[in-house]
Chains A and B, each alone.
Chain A
Amino acid sequence: MTTATQSDSTLARVPKTTAAHRIGNVVRLHFTNPWTILALPSIILTAIFLLNLAIWVTVYLSAAPDHRSQVSNGLQYTGSSFYIFVYMLVVAVQAISITFPFALGYGVTRRDYYRGTAVTFVILAAIYSAGMTLLSIIEDATGGWGVGGRMFSAVYFGDSWPVRLYVYFVLLLLFFFVGTIFAAVWVRWKATGLATLFIAFGVLAVGLIALIILTSGWGNIAAFFVNAGFVGSASWSLAITAIAGLTGYLVLRRATPRT
């Protein structure tokens, strides 16, 4: 391969870059237009919050004055924030499906693209978990926005702000990286791939439930979560996050930008 090295030295090339530099560039690409990953989710989060607030106010006003203090208690198992997490899955899918073909046109390798995207998701999880923790502190301090409402201080997120910050962060990571699987499958195999994936997930879920029922395993599962606690359960999700992240990369590394 002497000819290759020879041509190497004489051909004009741009200076080499470090992986950190290239990964940083992908992160900057994601943040170039923060609309999809920051502005729109914040607007949606605000909308969910306002809708819930309207419901809390209704409940609060309709409750007899001496029962009002119990409203907050009844709302501690609220699922209203669950939508935020699901929406982050959508954000991950959008972010990848729209920037992947673009980034490859800019001469980015799939590997650098995926690493930069993963860093972006960690940054986004940090931003959103910090915001949600701040809101949970306000929620506590104002007695549930004055009407006993609970959204960010739901019981599963823990009862102190550091625990909530951690649980939020870890759960957001889970949804972002599960989103990468869907995004990577979409980018690589389009609708056919997604349909197959949904069917596969469906079969897996039914099989798992059947297995649990047949082995009378519900008690064990409940015991697992009780034993692990909020923080422990959240920490276990990191394993799923890691598997999802790796799967997303394995699918994406052979994907071709198509139209």
Chain B
Amino acid sequence: MTAVIEVEHLTRRYRDVTAVNDATFSVEENKIYGLLGRNGAGKTTLMQLLTGQEFASDGTIRVFGESPVENADVLQNISFIKESQRYPEDFRPRHVFASAPHFFANWDADFAAQLADEFRVPLKRRIKKLSRGQVSAVGVIVGLASRAPLTFFDEPYLGLDAVARQLFYDRLLEDYAQHPRTVVLSTHLIDEVSNLLEHVIVIDEGRIIIDEDAESLRGTATSVVGTRAAVDAFVASREILHRDAVGGLASVTVTGLDARGRAAASAAGLELAPVSLQQLIIRRTGMNQQQSSEKEFEATA
């Protein structure tokens, strides 16, 4: 096992909020990780901690085996593209691409030029005059062309249209195949990236609540669809994540259906449907919330 990132009991407290709370996980080399969670869950803070931009309140961080804080030997292996990345005033995209090679040893200028062309980034226009999507494209280009051994994309696509986002996913996969590296992608467009991700880490209110291989995570839940009576009978003894019912039909999401369970389901005339990663994560992260909102509802009713 070769872990690029090893985090133990990492905590970052601010005056009135604990942004990252006792997080322990590791990131293995040359895989694409999804760091998922709702807005304000702690994704950005976590990535800032991993890149030495933030200071931990507690716990340890090892990146390439060392603490990243003020550690040039570690940090020059990292490219961190933030949605909110600020560029020097009066910089034009060509200035960004001209200065990047000083800091990224693996920078590929031809690739950057090709991407600038594909994303239609106007190289000579001032960054503050660019559209939100064009600014995001500049970040995406730096993140891809820097080919840093460890690349963080923090919601890199604000303002990017569907075509540009698909282009980003395509180029990321292609370039990753040719130049394997470790990528951590934070996003809330889970369905769009679910095919990219090899491993999923879900953070909620600062805590790591899911840390699983994407493939096995997908296998942890299945939707069972059929008549209400048949579905109810089938799921009676199983763990239910979610339930939808319309008239006489029901669709219930259950956990851990093995081969025998699948056989039983089809014998009962039920249809099995895969659950999307997004649905799965909503079910898992929404659960506590749903329960508490139900309680609130009962209390007010």
Per-residue interface assignment for chain B, residues 231 to 248, with 1 indicating a CB less than 8 Å from any chain A CB and 0 otherwise: 000000000000000000
Known: A25-B102, A98-B86, A98-B89. A11 touches B29 (CB 8 A): yes
State how many angstroms separate the Cβ of A45 from the closest Cβ of chain B.
Answer: 18
Beta-carbon contact of B65 and A7 below 8 Å: yes
Q: List, in ascending order, chain A residues with CB within 8 A of B71's CB.
A: 109
* A13 and B149 form a contact (CB under 8 A): yes
Task: Count chain A CB atoms within 10 A of each CB in B54, B91, B100 and give the residue with the most.
Answer: B91
User: Does A251 reach chain B (CB closer than 8 Å)?
Assistant: no
User: A80: which B residues are within 8 A, CB to CB?
Assistant: none
Cα(A11)–Cα(B3), bound, Å: 8
A101 touches B2 (CB 8 A): no
Whole-angstrom distance between the Cβ of A259 and the nearest chain B Cβ: 4
Kindly identify, within residues 99 to 132 of chain A, every residue whose CB is under 8 Å from any CB belonging to chain B: 99, 101-102, 104-112
| Beta-carbon contact of B73 and A4 below 8 Å | no
Which single member of A7, A111, A112 contacts B3 (CB below 8 Å)?
A7
Known: A10-B2, A257-B53. A29 touches B99 (CB 8 A): yes
Contact B55 A106 (CB under 8 A): no
Which residues 73-89 in B have Cβ within 8 Å of A in the complex?
Answer: 73, 75-82, 84-89
The minimal Cβ–Cβ distance linking B51 to chain A, given in whole angstroms, is: 7
Given A4-B66, A102-B86, A105-B85, A112 contacting B103 (CB threshold 8 A): no
Residue of A nearest to B70 (CB): A109
Task: Say yes or no: A35-B90 contact (C-beta < 8 A), given A28-B99, A108-B103.
Answer: yes
Interface size of A by CB at 8 A reads 40
Chain B contributes a number of interface residues (CB within 8 A of A) equal to: 47
Q: How far is the CA of A259 from the CA of B86 in the complex (A)?
A: 8
Q: What residues of chain B lie closer than 8 Å to A94, measured between beta carbons?
A: 89
B104 within 8 A of A: yes
**Which residues of B have CB within 8 Å of A29?**
99, 102-103
Report chain B residues within 8 Å CB of A192.
none
Q: Is B72 an interface residue (CB 8 A)?
A: yes
**Given the complex of chains A and B, what is the CA–CA distance between A78 and B160 in angstroms?**
55
Please pick, from A8, A33, A253, A257, the residue contacting B65 in the complex, using a CB distance under 8 A: A8
B72 touches A109 (CB 8 A): yes
B92: Cβ under 8 A from any A Cβ:
yes
- Interface bits B20-45 vs A (CB < 8 Å: 1, else 0): 00000000010000000000000000
The residues of A that contact B95 with a CB separation of less than 8 Å are: 32-33
* B:117-135 near A, CB below 8 Å: none
Interfacial residues, chain A to chain B (CB-CB below 8 A): 4-5, 7-8, 10-17, 19, 22, 25, 28-29, 32-33, 35-36, 94, 98-99, 101-102, 104-112, 253-254, 256-257, 259
Query: Which 3 pairs, one residue from A and one from B, show the smallest C-beta to C-beta distance?
Result: A14-B105, A107-B75, A4-B65
A22-B76, A254-B55, A257-B86 are known; give 5 further A-B pairs, CB within 8 A: A7-B65, A94-B89, A102-B88, A106-B103, A107-B79
23 A–B contacts, CB within 8 A, in A order = A7-B3, A7-B65, A11-B64, A13-B64, A19-B72, A28-B102, A29-B102, A33-B92, A36-B88, A36-B90, A98-B86, A98-B89, A106-B99, A106-B103, A107-B51, A107-B75, A107-B79, A107-B103, A109-B52, A109-B71, A109-B72, A254-B55, A256-B53
